[in-house]
Structure 1
Amino acid sequence: MSISGHNPPVGIIGGTGLTTLSGLQIQTERPVDTPWGQPSSALVEGLLGDQAVVFLSRHGNPHRIPPHQVNYRANLQALHDAGVRTVVGVNAVGGIHLEMGPAHIVIPDQIIDYTWGRASTFFEGELDETTHIDFTWPYTETARQLLIAAARDQNLAFSDFGVYGATQGPRLETAAEVVRLERDGCDLVGMTGMPEAALAAELGMNYVCLALVVNHAAGKSDHIITMAEIEAAIDQGMSGIKRILEVSMSDLGALTPQFS
């Protein structure tokens, strides 16, 4: 299904700070169900510029579902069933890398999964055969380059690299855990990057992460992390995230899916 226009719809999964998308001309808002249960929110279908978009709020709207209880399988399945073949996951993250402070935008290129106990694959139950997907590059490089080009076009301060460390949550990390993450090579830490990226890959969808740093990771500043700090970074940085989305939408919609 395509809402309108030449390209199939692009899926946008909004995280903390992006439960709605201003500028989206809403055509329909509909609850859906999947074989994996209900997604986090109704699918909001409309146009962002000339591009058909399906928006889904990862934590629900209002923000109520903690990271470890998000039904990631239902979210990705619902978008796939709506005709989406390219997904942008917007994530609020903590910054580990020296250059990645509050309100900084990052388009990461790798991920390390530290989560546990989450329903993390579609390939389970009574299968005809075991399936192993290639997950060498978790983010679709062509989609990454489109986001990078949009960020440059808008003269935004951003990083075009980064290893995302996906932790269990919902608590924030200890300073020692952040030291371990940094030792492992992580530049960012968040709670929702996995299994979202892997599930998109299992469905053959293009997937890319657009991350906004909302706080220094634990131990990386001289004060404790507060919600006031996080909210201030969101207020400062989310306009840049939205501008990147607006500029890149049509090109993202034109991407060929990994497989049908």
Structure 2
Amino acid sequence: MIQPVLGIIGGSGLYDIDGLEDKTWRKVETPWGDPSDELLFGRLAGIQCVFLPRHGRGHPTSPTHLNYRANIDALKRSGVTDVLSLSAVGSLREDLPPGHFVIVDQFIDRSFAREKSFFGEGVVAHISMAHPVCSRLGDALFGACQGMGLPVTRGGTYLVMEGPQFSTKAESELYRAWGCSVIGMTNMPEAKLAREAELCYATVAMVTDFDCWHPDHDHVTVEAVVRVLLGNADNARGLVKQVVPQLGTPRELCPCGCDRALDNAIITALGQRSQVLAAKLDAVAGRVLG
């Protein structure tokens, strides 16, 4: 049986988790550099949790400049088994208004200036991203949102743009034509790296406003967006408190196979592997590299 350790990645407006007992901020070193901030360790309802503010406390780091590899490695290195990613997004659909939560099940990655894999020259690996989130976690998050009476949709595609600028109207209309539900800047390559690290991963996309396709977009004030952002952050804290006890009980291997994603992924022959890169992969892929 596996005793889960829950990792929570907080997005814009979410820089702490309420209710943690025995909490301590701790610096975690990784071979990929520094993560966004120290990690907050503690227990919630008796369950071990590790919180990482994605942009750092005070939001000093932009989406492009986040060290995604260090963030995921630090969580894995800290014993995390399951990751709940909380992200502020814009809506691409009329039926997903500000304040709505979307339990995402697909991504389209339009980022282009980020390191997207732990693997590379000397240790080559290819993993499946057909189903990029853990449905077990997604179902639990959806049920918890419903139990709290939050406006929530199960399933949707998250378009990840590079940023830091927002979309043009033409781009926004293009993403709508592709069938995307929400747009943001942070969940890729985060989801890809979590899969490479064999972590169960799910995203709660929290809508702050309609993207610029919407005819009323130009009338939305910064104050209104911030008000929704802070309200979403409060609801997210409540959601974490609700779902952690459900996900923290001992379990078998993940039925989605997230924790075995590397079983057949590494294709570099044993004698051709870079020992330098293999050493950096100790936390992420030590299970299969030996």
Would the TM-score normalized by the shorter structure come out above 0.5? Answer: yes
CA distance in 1 between counterparts of 2:231 and 2:248 reads 27
- Secondary structure of the equivalent of 2:206? strand
User: What is the letter of the counterpart of residue 106 of structure 1?
Assistant: V
Whole-angstrom distance in 2 between the partners of 1:245 and 1:123: 32
2-side partners of 1:180 and 1:95: how far apart? 13
Counterpart mapping for 1:1-260 below 5 A: 7-127=3-123, 130-224=124-218, 226-254=221-249, 256-257=253-254, 258-259=259-260
Q: Secondary structure at the match of 1:119?
A: coil
TM-score by length of 2: 0.83
CA displacement at 1:116 relative to structure 2: 0.2
2:151 maps to a residue whose letter is: A
Aligned partner of residue 198 in structure 2, secondary structure = coil
**Distance change in 2, residues 1:223/1:151 (3 Å):** closer
Q: Is the 8 A contact 2:160 2:188 kept in 1?
A: yes
Contact 1:105 1:241 (8 Å CA) reproduced: no
Length-normalised TM-score, structure 1: 0.93
Unaligned runs of 5+ in 2: 261-286
Determine which structure has the larger helix proportion and give its number. Answer: 2
Instruction: Please tell me the residue identity of whatever aligns with 2:105.
Output: D
Task: Report if aligned partners of 1:35, 1:74 keep a CA contact under 8 Å in 2.
Answer: yes
Q: Kindly provide the amino acid, as one letter, of the partner of residue 228 in structure 2.
A: A
* Cα distance, 1:109 vs structure 2: 1.0
Aligned residue identity for 1:101: P
Conserved? CA contact 2:105–2:133, under 8 Å? yes
Contact 1:7/1:52, CA 8 A, preserved across alignment: no
Q: Note the alpha carbon deviations across 1:128-180, whole angstroms, 9 max, x for none.
A: xx311011111100110000111111121111111000000111111111111
Cα distance between partner residues in 1 of 2:221 and 2:118:
36
Once superposed, what is the RMSD of the aligned Cα atoms? 1.5
Whether contact under 8 Å (2:8, 2:52) holds in the other structure is yes
Unaligned runs of 5+ in 1: 1-5
Report the count of equivalent residues: 253
Q: Secondary structure at the match of 1:245?
A: helix
